[in-house]
Structure 1
Amino acid sequence: MSKIKIAHVLHSVGGVDVYVRFVLDNIDNSKFCSVILHGKHDTNHPFLDKDKEPVKEYRPSIVRDISFIKDLKAIFEIYKILKKERPNIIHAHSAKGGIMGRVVGRLLNIKVIYTPHAFSYLSAETKIKRKIFILLERFFSKGDGLLLATSNSELKRGLNVVKFDPKRAFYLNNSINSINNVPNLSIPRTWPKEYICTVGRPSYQKNIELMIEILGKINEFREVHLVIMGVGPVSYRLSNVQDLIKKKNLEEKITLINWTNRDNILNIINDSKFYISTARYEGLPYSIIESLALSKPCLVSNCDGNVDLIKDGFNGFVISDDNIDTFVEKALYLLSDEKALKQFSENAFISFNEDYNISKNILKLEEFYTVHSKFN
């Protein structure tokens, strides 16, 4: 029996990169083989399969921002690559990879699975952009391609806003391996013992400004430090965040950490009191899944992804309407009640093991690939 060949098309950054690497690291090599098509300037880390062998990679001209000429060039390059490779399935990731993958899939008559990792229109900061992005998502949702959302919330948006055909729309939770050993920290630790943490670049999506406002209020009642990981080259609101930290006199209460490896992130989450997210939108955030796997409760905003992962009052708290006072109240509760914190921590791990352990969910993805490859 020949293997099912899957071509992943993506701009390999952030959660999209993490998703594909977890799939490659867990999918059955005796039944599936993979090909990766990603941008020339996104990642230099090789993609490895379950046996730690290199996966075949191509680097077409996929870029993060919209560029008509560069995007057309990338589509032509992807077409030539996939015409040669002839995969059974194209798995197209995020808005950019999703459009390119679906265009080429139609030209070559190859089945396409589209995973948004948070729909593009959610990133729009104006109503006009939002409408344009929704129209684009709707246009490319037509045809016989499939939606494979990363959460139930994302699936609902695909059905209700993007208008996918319910018969072609599914979801499978983002998942990770169990974290059996917490790695050592390889960067200097300059923050105090008691702290809370988050992962996310200063951006419209992550809404770090709200988090700083919350921290300022918490420190009116109890001193606590905030560690923000993921400050990097695409942190276009970094200056806003730095100015707000200075304005609130929180320079000694906040540590900003540049892009760092996953081992350091896991170590920092593991030693924190709890994880906090003020995001405006998400797909299904890996940093929260990692927090649950490390038995850390989470205090989160009421947005897609967050509400799938956190059951209010069980493994953390979900705060609606960016209510600063409620954020502060629940944060102080977790910081002051050790018994409650312990129970929330135990519940966090239960949530991970039941719904977000890839050892279970990879079998569902393999079945999904197998069923839908039969239509090629």
Structure 2
Amino acid sequence: MIKVAHILHSVGGVDVSLRLITENINSEEFENIIIHGIKDTDVDFRDQNNTILKSYKTSIYREINIINDLIAIIQTYKILKKERPDIIHAHSAKGGIIGRLMGLLFKTKVFYTPQAFSFLSTENNLKRKIYLFIERLFTNKYSYLLASSNSEKERGVNNKIFKKEKALLYNNSIVDIKKIEDLSIEKTWPEEYICTVGRPSYQKNIELMIDVLHEVNKIKEVHLVIMGVGFHSDKLEEVQEKIKNYNLTEKVTLLNWTKRTDVFNIIKESKIYISTARYEGLPYSIIESLALSTPCVVTDSDGNRDLIIDGYNGYVIKNQNSTEFKDKILHLLDNKEVRNTFSDNSRNEFLQKYNVEKNIKNLENIYIASLNR
């Protein structure tokens, strides 16, 4: 049996990604152990037989803190010395740093899945250069990029973090959503609406979304449901102020973190899913929109452009052009036939490319092949 140690700060899409891997990978061939943060999740990790996996909590936090990070490195070293995994799979920026360092120390193959590189997370040029330098610094002969999208793979190669021959691809994938459960929360928004999942942050660029909604509502009354307004929402006050200034309080519903089944319900019933993100890995909310046959209007960012084919299953807006964004939303809302075509095409894209029950074999093969190199 091949033992895989996963290292990560387990929140958001990173947490979803790992759970989809452990719950679907062949548990007769792969043993998974989890090394994650003290305060990220209290939910057990399970395998495909619903058996609870061995997990360790360490001082892995999202923020950079020299003391906590050194403690996390020492703790992880002790765990790996005891467990002696065949492969290390490092998820997220922090997990990637610790994982690649451990790979060097133990001379063990490491797969690094950033779920969006850290240097994309800031508009400060100096910080961006520092983060990029750190990404390059921790890449070594034992580490491979296992990108969550083709855009992420190209980003890793083009920014000279990984050589082309050490950049691999395993698309984020989900289990097909065959049943939609009733909402577990009170519905406080109208029957017709558009929606998104994204915390108010630099990455998700919800400010642009509110600008677009303002322009849309000058022509047609449209309600927006924003899900995932919870952790790390550093732009929340700015977004709330913009909503107030545009007199959109009655046109926007802000929902904190809620059950994934509620998210599925809201996406399924939405006319359109929208994303104004500046960057992504390969966003689960859009994969879910494909599975749920919901057409999308998205920015031309890493991750988004991998999932949405302009004019086929949605629209891709270049240069964050708010006028074009508004026009495409209105066009879809006013053209049921186009929406239906995009819906069918979205579902087909999901079935062909992003179904984890089909794609998990690709990851198994990548793990196995690495031991034969």
Band of TM-score, shorter chain = over 0.9
1:234 to 232, 235, 250: 232
Task: Report the Cα offset of residue 138 of structure 1.
Answer: 1.2
The answer to whether structure 1 residue 52 and structure 2 residue 50 are counterparts is yes
State the alpha-carbon separation in 1 of the partners of residues 231 and 157 from structure 2: 34
Matched residue, 2:349: 351
1:151 to 149, 152, 173: 149
Task: Report the Cα offset of residue 28 of structure 1.
Answer: 0.5
Task: Report the Cα offset of residue 24 of structure 1.
Answer: 0.8
Task: Report the Cα offset of residue 124 of structure 1.
Answer: 1.5
Matched residue, 2:162: 164
Alpha-carbon deviations, 1:143-169, whole Å to 9, x = none? 231110001100001101134111111
* SS of residue matched to 2:141: coil
Q: Give identity over the alignment, percent.
A: 55
Alignment of 1:264-343 (within 5 A): 264-343=262-341
Contact 1:151–1:308 (8 Å) recurs in 2: yes
Alpha-carbon deviations, 1:158-193, whole Å to 9, x = none? 101134111111111100011100111000000001
Q: Which runs of 5+ in 2 are unaligned?
A: none
- TM-score w.r.t. the length of structure 1 is 0.98
* SS of residue matched to 1:167: helix
2:182 to 174, 181, 184: 184
Contact 2:104–2:142 (8 Å) recurs in 1: no
* SS of residue matched to 1:35: strand
Paired amino acid for 2:26: D
Q: Which runs of 5+ in 1 are unaligned?
A: none
Contact 1:4–1:373 (8 Å) recurs in 2: no
Alpha-carbon deviations, 1:248-297, whole Å to 9, x = none? 00000000000111011000001100100000000000000000000011
* SS of residue matched to 2:194: strand
1:139 to 134, 137, 158: 137
Alpha-carbon deviations, 1:184-226, whole Å to 9, x = none? 1000000001100000100000000000000011111111100
* SS of residue matched to 2:23: helix
State the alpha-carbon separation in 2 of the partners of residues 111 and 322 from structure 1: 39
State the alpha-carbon separation in 2 of the partners of residues 374 and 173 from structure 1: 23
* SS of residue matched to 2:116: coil
Task: Report the Cα offset of residue 96 of structure 1.
Answer: 0.3
Contact 2:119–2:132 (8 Å) recurs in 1: yes
State the alpha-carbon separation in 2 of the partners of residues 162 and 299 from structure 1: 31
* SS of residue matched to 2:319: coil
1:34 to 14, 17, 32: 32
Contact 2:108–2:142 (8 Å) recurs in 1: no
State the alpha-carbon separation in 2 of the partners of residues 332 and 128 from structure 1: 39
Matched residue, 2:254: 256
Matched residue count: 373
Contact 2:112–2:144 (8 Å) recurs in 1: yes
Task: Report the Cα offset of residue 118 of structure 1.
Answer: 0.4
Contact 1:231–1:259 (8 Å) recurs in 2: yes
* SS of residue matched to 1:173: coil
* SS of residue matched to 1:202: coil
State the alpha-carbon separation in 1 of the partners of residues 148 and 266 from structure 2: 25
State the alpha-carbon separation in 1 of the partners of residues 193 and 315 from structure 2: 18
Contact 1:16–1:93 (8 Å) recurs in 2: yes
Contact 1:141–1:162 (8 Å) recurs in 2: no
Contact 2:34–2:55 (8 Å) recurs in 1: yes
Matched residue, 2:105: 107
State the alpha-carbon separation in 2 of the partners of residues 318 and 193 from structure 1: 26
Task: Report the Cα offset of residue 125 of structure 1.
Answer: 2.1
Matched residue, 2:359: 361
State the alpha-carbon separation in 1 of the partners of residues 15 and 47 from structure 2: 14
Task: Report the Cα offset of residue 302 of structure 1.
Answer: 0.6
Alignment of 1:75-94 (within 5 A): 75-94=73-92
